[in-house]
Amino acid sequence: MASGNSWNLIAPEPFMPKNGEATLKWEEWREYFVNYISTFEDEEELTPEQKKKILLHCLGAKGLKIYNSINKKTRAPDQGDVFSHALEDLTEYFRPAVCVAVDRFKFYHRKQQLEESVEDYVAALKNLALSCKFGNLHDDLIRDQIIMHTANPHIQEKLWSREEASLREVIDLVKSAELTGRCAKAVLRREDKSFSKLEDSTTIAIVKKSNESSRREKEIVNLKDYILWNS
């Protein structure tokens, strides 16, 4: 057995002490434990069986009881790397229950947001699809979701006619449309700036002309007053 860990780290608290609930989420506790055991001076010399014994000791009384119950159902004794298998069995047991119907509901109702790129949208859909158990339909359903819920109504019309297109082809079409849209907006912004400058210069010219006309009219009035005063 290992003589101790080189960093003098304290062993993790029991995952499930006697008559107690889990102290952490399993994934967090597992990472804590793996980091702990990796600090042993002779960790590389430990056999899988020795690592497993340390794991079972750190599980706590209730955790050990759970492991013994699931181990009888899942594996034959002395089968392969018993430490890795023990971690896998516990991970499977403590994995949060997944409600496929709820996860699929979230997937089907995920629409592309305004200003959200197709790449970000696809990444979000793929993340939602992880727990949907779509199997071989995975890519097809993501493709259909893009077609139905793209934020670009113009490209949507084209996509409807490309029923046999693959997910990759649909993504490329939408990306191309997004690029075209960005270029068009950039051109419009430049034209708007040019028009604004022209409009401003025209306004200045009109104001100058108006000011000159007012000045002439004032000079004429003053001249008439002068003539009347001296006649």
Listed by start position, the domains of the chain span 26-94, 100-202
Six-digit token pair at 125?
């859909």
Tell me the pLDDT tens digit for each residue of 135-186. 889 999 999 999 999 998 888 888 888 878 999 999 999 999 888 877 867 7
| 3 state DSSP class of 40 | strand
Q: Residue 89's closest CA among 55, 60, 131?
A: 55
pLDDT at 147: 94
**Lowest-pLDDT choice from 8-17, 92-101, 202-211:** 202-211
Contact between 3 and 41 (Cβ < 8 Å): yes
Spatial distance between the Cα atoms of 146 and 111, rounded to a whole number of angstroms:
8
Number of other residues whose CB lies within 10 A of the CB of residue 60: 20
The CA distance from 55 to 39, in Å, is 14
Average pLDDT over residues 44-71: 89
Can you give the pLDDT at residue 182? 77
Q: What is the pLDDT of residue 113?
A: 94
pTM for the complete prediction? 0.46
For the segment 89-98, the average pLDDT, to the nearest whole number, is 83
Higher pLDDT, 133 or 74: 133
Rounded Cα gap, residues 203 and 81, in angstroms: 84
The answer to whether residues 78 and 49 touch, using CB atoms and an 8 Å cutoff, is no
**Within a 13 Å sphere around the CA of 229, how many CA atoms are in the beta-carbon half?**
6
3-class DSSP state of 116: coil
The letter for the amino acid at 54 is I
Mean pLDDT, residues 26-46 taken together: 84
Lowest mean pLDDT among 101-105, 128-132, 140-144, 206-210: 206-210
